[in-house]
Structure 1
Amino acid sequence: MPQTTSLRKPSAKEKALIVVLAVYAVAVIGLDTFRPFLHGGQGSSWPLRWYPIATLGFEADNNGKVVSVDEDGPAKALGIRPGQQIELSSVSPDRRAINKFVYVSHGSSYTMHVVAGPNAPFEVTVPAKDERIEGWNAITLLIAQASALFFIALCVYLAWHSATWSTWGFFLYGMWFNSGQYFVWYANLPTAGLVIFDALQAVVQALALTGFLAFALHFPDEEAPPWSRGHRLTLLSGVWAVLFISGGLAFFNFILGWRTEIPYRIYYACTFVVYFLAVWLFLHNYRRLPEQRPRMRWIVAAGLIGLPCFLLADIYEATDLFRYLPFGIDAWVRNHDWVLNLMYGCNVLLPAAVVYTALHHEVMSVRFGITRAVILSTVFVVSIAAVDQTAKLPIESFMEERAALKPFAVPLSFLLAVGLALIHNPLHGAVERVCAPRWHRARRRLQEVAQRLVDDDDITIVDVDRALVEDTASALWLKCAALFRRQPGDAFVLQTHVNWPVDAKQTLRAGDPWVPSATTGPVRLTYPDEAPLAPALAMLVVRRVTRHPASRLVLYGHHLTREQIDPDEIRILDEISRAAALAYMRLEVEAAADASHGSVSTAPSDPSDSAAHKG
């Protein structure tokens, strides 16, 4: 039975630190929870006077280049247009509105000098317009805030009950990278206060991502071979330093008026490197600890949903990368905040899975529909997006600035599509070799076996039996396999096997549960508790039927790693069974033909044109 990580209780100092960080995390996001309800105004006491927050009606990147303008906002009425360049040093009273975080305090106005772009140069003072959160935007904001508070509560519960490297790492991650928003603070803090807020953010978000890496490095057994403690600390300290420096530089557009879109992108590139490294470490532990895989699958399933949604929403709000989306999508998302709120809210699935698996000795044995095909498809889609953006961004930028290449836009798009289509098969093979090398070798080997069963004219009955039992069990690392042959009276008698338990039945009668469980195609046993083997062996049934009853039944046990046979492996077993059925049928036809001409036949006496196997 898989064992959980040791549940070391935190010390008094650790508990105090947990409380302090949790209070900070709740304080950062708490005020935004009330944005749909509170409208205090200037004459109210704090914090009511901070509501509602407002916007100038446009978004700019961290260089001061305007990337979008609201159709009904004050900025458009005063001549602000996409593509204009704002001189960062000219913005007063401060530069908090000159980035993707567009919120300012209600009743404020901002003066700035537009130095390039349409109608430039000119100076403009833009009054703030109060935000209105209604309908789905209000509902999904509350969902995102509630999921963030639940996220924090789960992380506190986790660290409070088990203070290990992995749980502390995930706790730190949850203190910042939850689905909560902090725009009320951002819009209303005085300039000096916002500088402190940004500095704390640079520290905490670097610590949070480093914590996520620590979680992936140590979960689930708190070991990280071959890393020594010193090597782990060096890695984590170096990652924190890189994230802190790149993230801190990104705030200098507000503090010093620097153009920081490039540092922002560098920071987000570093975050993706950290996430990919964390995924690699997690998969390394997944392969290293097969007995822990039932627990780790829960985190994989939750992470495949929660993390991409959170990252996409965060990148959209913090950078201008999504302005390169096809026409209309960026504007639609910008006008429907509920989309981002729901994407943020999905991230709560990850801590729920982590808490469940980290604090329980046993987890529900659930097989998720996450096959290698799904993973490969996901990697392919991400790779297509990366290639598309890498090829398209320079071209579109050149077309925008020089008004060139426009007649060639359609041919270039066609050539790009052709290139993406051509990389599918090479990419599929490369990803499979890297992510699942053992499976890649097993699949190739069994496909060769299946092809040999169909094409080899010199193959014998013994060769087909060996392919179904020995070759398949060896390639897929199965604990056992056995081939039963039908005898008169519809009983199946053991003919050949690999590691078949000595206390298992050597004969399967027609009334045994496994025999009627067999159906067309691979299926699990209908009555596994009544199976003729030890209950610890999880088996499958695969049967191939044409005109006659199946003459052979092959039973496969689970893997040597104690895992059950997965859907991808079932498909290759199905391919083997089809090939074996054809081989048996051909051999029996040849034996019958030889017998009719007086030849001596070694073919089996029972009529059969199919093979069946259980696993």
Structure 2
Amino acid sequence: MTRHRILFFGLLIWALAMIVPDFVRAVRPLGSFGFYADSNGLIYDVAGPFESETQSPAWKAGVRAGDRLDFTRMRCIPYDAYVCASTIAAVGGNEYVLPGRQTTIDLLPTATESARDVTLIADPRPTNWFARLVLALDQIAGIAVILAAGWLVWTRPSRMTWGFFLYVIWYNPGQAYEFYAQLQRWPLLLLAQNVLGSISQAAGYAGLLVFVMRAPTGAIQPPWDRFERPLPPLAAVVAVVLMAAYGNAFGFHTELLMRATILFGIIVSVAAVAILLKRRSSLSPKDNQRLRWVMWGCLIGLPAFVIADLNEYTTLFANWDGFVLPEDIVGLLYLVNGILCLFVVEAIRRQRVVNVAIPLRRVTVLALMTSLPALLLHQQAEHLHELVELPGWSWLVIGALVLFVISRLHEWSVELADSYFNRVLDKTEKEIAGAIMSAKTAEEIDRLLSDGVARALKLASAATFRRTESGFHRFEVSVGWDDTAVRDLRAGEGAMKNLLEGETSSFEKAAAEEAGFPAELDLPIFAVPAANRLHTYAVTLYGPHEAGTDIDSNEREMLVNLGRHAADAYTRAETETLRKTIAELRAQPDLSRGMA
């Protein structure tokens, strides 16, 4: 294997190793000492994740908001494993530790208290079934995003795919609190992980910018190459700053640096969106539609991730009258980012995509279906957990049942939304179907299937090949098919077999070009037979929309229905032609005497 493949497997295993252990939290929650301290050592909250201060181990031990950690005694130099581990677990805004873990924090003197040491034992963090369900979904989405980005690197390695892969290694919806809680038993390993994490974060920032400069084709245009060259040294500088933010483990006040690291993410997110907006006009219609998927993935996904990170790793929101987002809401924000990362993967994987409004509409419905229970039930779920004592695994079962109900409601809601937004499409299908059924000749049916549909759906190309004794022949000049285009349909053996059996078929670019079909935007991508159970009368080849988007599932269903109507119309037209021919033959005197 090449060095790149070895590096790829190492990064893939590391990325999964960080988030997979958090599935344990869906069954057994981590613990908390019941206080939050920022990176300057200021204790600003002594309730922590608990519902009230009286439930907090820190409050019970006499710790109060406004106390400060004594960094002269709580530091990793000179090295003492217990002191170092206690320091790392105490600072940074949001601590997760193993349940039952013991730690000692050193506090500076206050106006009412002298300097003191306080020993704390972590209690399990309160949780509820919905938060556990969201956590499980986050972990599944995180694994899916990492594997999908890794698949892109494996199948089409380039700076573009590597950039995206480096980005999702760190910025994916999967959470790594269990991984870090376990590493706290070995402080030196945890410090090493923080160093690697800082490098990974910086590489992720640079990777995202490389990706948006090259997506979706992988090629970089001349105006952007000069911006790509300085990214590696800038990433190195950012990595150093990120490492410095962990200096609180060595006695330094780093809250400002910690907030600056989040600011880096905001700046990079804004820059990424600005680059995507700027590049829209320089791409072909097909690639511009793919870029729209990337752009909307960044427009929605990046802010969701940044808000969740600000809530989890800084005191910025806490300074607003103690406002903190609930754990399940934060999990949903991470989940939104993960789903939209999969949008990006789809845009790179596929050569042609449907209108981005369709998947966005469905994701919006899914977000509403999941966020409403989060807003209404997370407090009630905590009370229910207190009233009904059930084992931890049972809440996973309850969560799975809720997930099933939500999935069914989502499916029903999507169908309802599609029926609303597809009213124009349904009307168009009814009008064209009526015209086809009223057509008197096969030529008229040909034109309705090709030009009529192309005008209605604004397709770049469409052509009907009617079946003859020698095969399928194109009699008419139609949209995207001039006199120089092929007249006889010659597709692959598998495609022709499907069409003769009355099944639709899709064309890959290479197969379409080999068959002599029109190129570029006019390239046909979908073939629909006009067939009944006994015979295939014609085949219509459809290209993408004039805007470059693919034909979506609802439009494909419409075309299939029109093909069935056309088969009936062709049957009637053939029957009428045959009757007319017989009548004409009978009208001839010689034939009439012979028949007599």
CA distance in 2, matches of 1:534, 1:279: 40
Cα deviations by residue, 1:213-232 (Å, 9 ceiling, x for unpaired): 11012112333333586x45
CA distance in 2, matches of 1:144, 1:273: 25
Cα drift, residue 322 of structure 1: 0.8
Contact 1:84/1:118 (<8 A) preserved:
no
Contact 2:67/2:110 (<8 A) preserved:
yes
The corresponding residue for 1:99 is 92
Q: Which amino acid aligns with 1:166?
A: M
Runs of 5+ consecutive residues of structure 2 not aligned to the other structure: 48-52, 75-81, 361-447, 463-476, 482-520, 522-545, 550-596
CA distance in 2, matches of 1:105, 1:234: 44
Q: Give the counterpart of 1:237 among 221, 228, 232.
A: 232
CA distance in 2, matches of 1:232, 1:68: 43
Is 1:341 the equivalent of 2:331? yes
Is 1:360 the equivalent of 2:340? no
CA distance in 2, matches of 1:528, 1:286: 21
The corresponding residue for 2:62 is 79
Contact 2:242/2:261 (<8 A) preserved:
yes
Cα deviations by residue, 1:564-594 (Å, 9 ceiling, x for unpaired): 9xxxxxxxxxxxxxxxxxxxxxxxxxxxxxx
CA distance in 1, matches of 2:457, 2:281: 31
The corresponding residue for 1:90 is 73
CA distance in 2, matches of 1:348, 1:104: 25
Cα distance change, pair 342–115 in 1 and its aligned pair in 2 (3 A): same
Q: Give the counterpart of 1:252 among 247, 252, 271.
A: 247
Cα distance change, pair 99–116 in 1 and its aligned pair in 2 (3 A): farther
Contact 1:176/1:204 (<8 A) preserved:
yes
The corresponding residue for 1:293 is 288
Cα distance change, pair 61–346 in 1 and its aligned pair in 2 (3 A): same
The corresponding residue for 1:111 is 104
Is 1:221 the equivalent of 2:217? yes
Is 1:155 the equivalent of 2:145? no
The corresponding residue for 2:510 is none
SS at structure 2 position matched to 1:296: helix
Q: Which amino acid aligns with 2:231?
A: L
Is 1:16 the equivalent of 2:6? yes
Cα deviations by residue, 1:163-199 (Å, 9 ceiling, x for unpaired): 1111110011111111122222322321111111111
Cα drift, residue 304 of structure 1: 2.6
Cα deviations by residue, 1:290-343 (Å, 9 ceiling, x for unpaired): 522211111222223322111111121111111133x4632xx2xx31111111
Cα deviations by residue, 1:12-68 (Å, 9 ceiling, x for unpaired): 433332221111101111111112325xxxxxxxxxxxxx63211011110011122
CA distance in 2, matches of 1:299, 1:137: 29
Cα distance change, pair 199–360 in 1 and its aligned pair in 2 (3 A): same
SS at structure 1 position matched to 2:70: strand
CA distance in 2, matches of 1:55, 1:130: 6
Contact 2:210/2:228 (<8 A) preserved:
no
Cα distance change, pair 290–120 in 1 and its aligned pair in 2 (3 A): farther
Is 1:274 the equivalent of 2:271? no
CA distance in 2, matches of 1:103, 1:32: 12
CA distance in 2, matches of 1:79, 1:356: 53
Q: TM-score, normalised by structure 1?
A: 0.54
SS at structure 2 position matched to 1:103: coil
Cα distance change, pair 535–367 in 1 and its aligned pair in 2 (3 A): farther
The corresponding residue for 2:121 is 127
Contact 2:36/2:43 (<8 A) preserved:
yes
Contact 2:273/2:299 (<8 A) preserved:
no
The corresponding residue for 2:534 is none
Q: Which amino acid aligns with 2:63?
A: I
Cα deviations by residue, 1:390-448 (Å, 9 ceiling, x for unpaired): xxxxxxxxxxxxxxxxxxxxxxxxxxxxxxxxxxxxxxxxxxxxxxxxxxxxxxxxxxx
Cα distance change, pair 562–163 in 1 and its aligned pair in 2 (3 A): same
Runs of 5+ consecutive residues of structure 1 not aligned to the other structure: 1-10, 39-51, 371-511, 514-523, 539-560, 565-615
SS at structure 2 position matched to 1:323: coil
The corresponding residue for 1:465 is none
Is 1:27 the equivalent of 2:12? no
Q: Which amino acid aligns with 1:197?
A: Q
SS at structure 2 position matched to 1:110: strand
Cα drift, residue 115 of structure 1: 2.4
Is 1:350 the equivalent of 2:350? no
CA distance in 2, matches of 1:161, 1:305: 27
Residue range with higher mean Cα deviation, 94-103 or 115-124: 115-124
Is 1:191 the equivalent of 2:187? yes
Cα distance change, pair 115–221 in 1 and its aligned pair in 2 (3 A): same
Q: Give the counterpart of 1:313 among 308, 322, 336.
A: 308
CA distance in 1, matches of 2:300, 2:268: 18
Cα deviations by residue, 1:145-180 (Å, 9 ceiling, x for unpaired): 111111111111111111111111001111111112
Cα drift, residue 534 of structure 1: 7.2
Q: Which amino acid aligns with 2:174?
A: G
Higher helix share: 2
Cα distance change, pair 133–251 in 1 and its aligned pair in 2 (3 A): same
Aligned residue runs from structure 1 range 451-530, under 5 A:
none
Cα drift, residue 99 of structure 1: 1.8
The corresponding residue for 2:569 is none
Cα drift, residue 247 of structure 1: 0.5
CA distance in 2, matches of 1:136, 1:222: 40
Q: Which amino acid aligns with 1:347?
A: N
SS at structure 2 position matched to 1:87: coil
CA distance in 1, matches of 2:335, 2:113: 41
CA distance in 2, matches of 1:101, 1:80: 16
Cα distance change, pair 252–324 in 1 and its aligned pair in 2 (3 A): same
Contact 1:84/1:115 (<8 A) preserved:
yes
CA distance in 2, matches of 1:339, 1:228: 38
SS at structure 2 position matched to 1:181: coil
Residue range with higher mean Cα deviation, 102-111 or 340-349: 102-111
The corresponding residue for 1:68 is 45
Is 1:180 the equivalent of 2:174? yes
SS at structure 2 position matched to 1:361: coil
CA distance in 2, matches of 1:366, 1:341: 24
Q: Give the counterpart of 1:205 among 197, 201, 204.
A: 201
Q: Which amino acid aligns with 1:82?
A: A
SS at structure 2 position matched to 1:90: coil
CA distance in 1, matches of 2:323, 2:27: 29
The corresponding residue for 2:255 is 261
Q: TM-score, normalised by structure 2?
A: 0.56
Contact 1:290/1:562 (<8 A) preserved:
no
Contact 1:90/1:111 (<8 A) preserved:
no
SS at structure 2 position matched to 1:307: helix
SS at structure 1 position matched to 2:229: helix
SS at structure 1 position matched to 2:36: strand
Q: Which amino acid aligns with 1:351?
A: C
Aligned residue runs from structure 1 range 410-421, under 5 A:
none
